[in-house]
Amino acid sequence: MGAVVVVGAQWGDEGKGKVVDIYARFADQVVRYAGGANAGHTLVVEGEQLIFHLMPSGALHQDTRCVLAQGTVVDPKVLIDEIQTLDARGLFAQERFLISERAFLVLPQHTLVDELRDRQAGALGTTKRGIGPAYEDKVARRGLRIGDLLSREKFERKLRANLDAWAPVVAALGGELPDVAQTVERYVKYGETLAPMIGNAADAVRRSLKQGERVLMEGAQGALLDIDSGTYPFVTSSSTVAGGACVGAGIGPTSISSVVGISKAYATRVGNGPFPTEMEGDAGDALREAGAEFGATTGRPRRCGWLDLPALRFAAQVSSFSGLALTKIDVLTGMKELQLCTGYELDGKRLDTPPYDDLDRVTPVYETMPGWDEPVSGCRRVEDLPENARAYITRIEEEIECPVWLVSVGPDREQTIVVREPFG
């Protein structure tokens, strides 16, 4: 039994939290392998909503172990808050949670620089969680890691060197560096709280796989936000695609048995960057209202548009999707007609996938499909869905050459049609 990887197939917020929670029922271990508290993964169980930024979305299942792997960047304050929230509800057990000693730390200078940069002209519109600067430190080989929290001396030495590197950047942005002594005190305390949960996470994942356990890899963000394959530079700073699960968790590609990509039945994007199928004005506002499209991390209104199949096809290719989870199909109920973007035109040429650049210049080519009026949130089998909704799903499967394994018909855990279980 290999690992199942769950990844976002758009610009994030596809419903990864919900789908991971559903699959986690059958998993022994759920591993968050990339990104940080820029993620906001929503779970709704019996009407009650929980949003995780760092805690893997398997956390509600008491027989499932959760791992925060080496590919993530961790703001310990956010993590401890989430642990306390779960603990207060009697849902947390230290022995079920492991944080990689190799995961990188998000430090106050990272959030500061992220915020200051995002005020500049041409900004990306980041989540301001310090993600970009934290990953910058990692590749510049001057980052601090979770394991460094366990030694005051080591932490302080590395912190001082790191602050020296950021000093000119912070000065140029008109900011003030965080105080060393205060930062050391705070972070050493975080280290004391987290110490029992810090360890060799990659080894734990590998052992679990070796024993034939069911391992679920939880991606963050989405394919179009990937540092290599996304709409650069309007991307995040990590590998959000399925390949990221290997480096992020510390396993090889042959350990992965299947990949489930998640897409909404339409498209959204939060933050700046090209979005060919974006609906402007009233139509976009109506979709945002119907889908409650406001960021789970920042509360920002999400930009909304029609489903972009060239982008989804590309996501399926770069992550070798085995199956697709299609979410929020209920939001389309009541629309007379649906537009499905099947390709783009750029300078007189037809494109089937996004160009490396110039996505802001493409013209979407649409196919019109009939909508449906029937509410679908009560459907529990594909056969229960209205004929036009089924036709819409089939058209997507044909276009991206990937079968639908799950259809989500509402935010709640129960509002789900599982067509095929990823663990077989």
Among 5, 73, 217, 270, binds ligand IMO (CB under 6 A): 270
Q: What does 9 interact with, of ligand IMO, Mg ion, ligand GDP, none (CB < 5 to 8 A by kind)?
A: none
Identify whether 13 is a catalytic site residue: yes
Smallest gap from residue 296 Cβ to ligand GDP (A): 4
CB of 191 to Mg ion, least distance (A): 28
Residue where the block lists tokens 């989540």: 127
How far, in Å, CA of 116 to CA of 363, rounded?
Answer: 34
Closer to ligand IMO at the Cβ: 17 or 422? 17
16 belongs to the binding site for ligand GDP (CB under 6 A): yes
- Catalytic: which of 21, 41, 53, 114? 41
- Where in 264-323 is the site for ligand GDP (CB under 6 A)? 296
Question: In whole angstroms, what is the distance from residue 176 CA to residue 109 CA?
Answer: 9
Distance of closest approach, residue 10 Cβ to ligand IMO, in angstroms: 9
Contacts of 115 (CB under 8 A, 6+ apart): 128
Beta-strand pair 104-105/416-418: unpaired
Cβ-based nearer residue to ligand IMO, 70 or 126 = 126
Taking the alpha carbons at both ends of the chain, their separation in whole angstroms is 9
Query: How crowded is residue 323: how many other Cβ atoms within 10 Å of its Cβ?
Result: 21
Q: Which stretch binds Mg ion (CB under 5 A): 96-104, 114-122, 232-240, 290-298?
A: 290-298
Is residue 186 within 8 Å of 176, Cβ to Cβ? Answer: no
| 114 sits near ligand GDP (criterion: CB under 6 A) | no
Q: Does 36 bind Mg ion (CB under 5 A)?
A: no
Name which of ligand IMO, Mg ion, ligand GDP, none residue 38 binds, using a CB cut-off of 5 to 8 Å depending on partner kind. ligand IMO
Q: Which is nearer to ligand IMO, 51 or 184 (CB)?
A: 51
Q: Is 411 near ligand GDP (CB under 6 A)? A: yes
Host H or E run for residue 77: helix 76-88
Q: Please report whether residue 127 would count as binding ligand IMO according to CB under 6 A.
A: yes
Least distance to ligand GDP from the beta carbon of 236, Å? 12
From the list 119-127, 186-194, 370-378, 388-396, the region that binds ligand IMO by CB under 6 A is: 119-127
Task: Return the residue of 72, 126, 342, 408 that touches ligand IMO, per CB under 6 A.
Answer: 126
Identify which of 345, 271, 358, 354 has the alpha carbon closest to the alpha carbon of residue 309. 354
Calculate the dihedral angle through the C-alpha atoms of 209, 210, 211, 213, rounding to the nearest 10 degrees: 10
Query: For residues 380 and 376, what is the distance between their CA atoms, to the nearest angstrom?
Result: 9
- Phi and psi, residue 177, nearest 5°: -65, 145
296 part of the interface to Mg ion, by CB under 5 A: yes
Residue facing ligand GDP at closest CB distance: 42
Stretch that binds ligand GDP, among 147-155, 162-170, 189-197, 327-335 (CB under 6 A): 327-335
Instruction: Pick the closer one to ligand GDP by CB: 36 or 40.
Output: 40
What would the two tokens of residue 47 be? 């009407």
Q: Which residue is nearest to ligand IMO (CB)?
A: 271
Of 178, 271, 310, 364, which lies in the binding site for ligand IMO, with binding defined by CB under 6 A? 271
Closer residue to ligand GDP, CB minimum distance, 303 or 328: 328
Residue 264 φ then ψ, to 5°: -70, 165
Buried b (16+ CB within 10 A) or exposed e, 170-207: beeeebebbeeeebbeebeebbeebeebbbbbbebbbe
The footprint of ligand IMO on this chain (CB under 6 A) covers a number of residues equal to 24
Among 2, 125, 355, 386, which residue sits at the site for ligand IMO (rule: CB under 6 A)? 125
- According to DSSP, residue 382 is labeled G
Report the C-alpha gap between 415 and 42 in whole angstroms: 14
> Is residue 399 part of the contact set for ligand IMO (CB under 6 A)?
no
d(CA 71, CA 268): 25
Supply the minimum distance, in Å, between the C-beta of residue 296 and ligand IMO.
Answer: 6
Contact between 236 and ligand IMO (CB under 6 A)? Answer: yes
Taking CB under 6 A as the rule, does residue 44 contact ligand GDP? Answer: yes
DSSP, residue by residue, 202-250: HHHHHHHHHTT--EEEE--S-GGG-TTTSSTTSS-SS--STHHHHHHHT
Question: Footprint of Mg ion on this chain (CB under 5 A)?
Answer: 13, 40, 296
Question: Footprint of ligand GDP on this chain (CB under 6 A)?
Answer: 8, 12-18, 39-42, 44, 296, 327-328, 330-331, 408-411
Task: Point out the residues that are catalytic.
Answer: 13, 41
